[in-house]
A and B are shown apart, each in its own frame.
Chain A
Amino acid sequence: AQSVAQPEDQVNVAEGNPLTVKCTYSVSGNPYLFWYVQYPNRGLQFLLKYITGDNLVKGSYGFEAEFNKSQTSFHLKKPSALVSDSALYFCAVRVWAAGNKLTFGGGTRVLVKP
Chain B
Amino acid sequence: NAGVTQTPKFQVLKTGQSMTLQCAQDMNHNSMYWYRQDPGMGLRLIYYSASEGTTDKGEVPNGYNVSRLNKREFSLRLESAAPSQTSVYFCASSPLGTDNYGYTFGSGTRLTVV
Contact = CB atoms under 8 A, between A and B. Distances in A.
Interface of A: 4, 6, 9, 34, 36, 41-46, 49, 90, 92, 94, 99-107
A90 B43 contact: yes
B53 to A, nearest CB: 15
A44 B102 CA distance: 11
B102 A99 contact: no
Interface of B: 4, 31, 33, 35, 40-45, 48, 50, 58, 90, 92, 94, 96, 99-108
B42 A42 contact: no
Given A43-B90, A43-B108, A44-B90, A102 B41 contact: no
Centre residue among B31, B50, B99, B103 by max chain A CB count within 10 A: B103
7 contacts: A44-B103, A46-B104, A90-B43, A105-B42, A106-B41, A106-B42, A107-B42
B106 A43 contact: yes
Given A36-B102, A43-B106, A49-B102, A104 B58 contact: no
A63 to B, nearest CB: 14
A41 B99 CA distance: 26
A101 B41 contact: no
Given A42-B107, A101-B45, 5 more contacts: A43-B90, A44-B92, A102-B102, A104-B35, A106-B41
A102 B104 CA distance: 12
Contacts of B41: 106
Contacts of A44: 43, 90, 92, 103, 105
B8 to A, nearest CB: 14
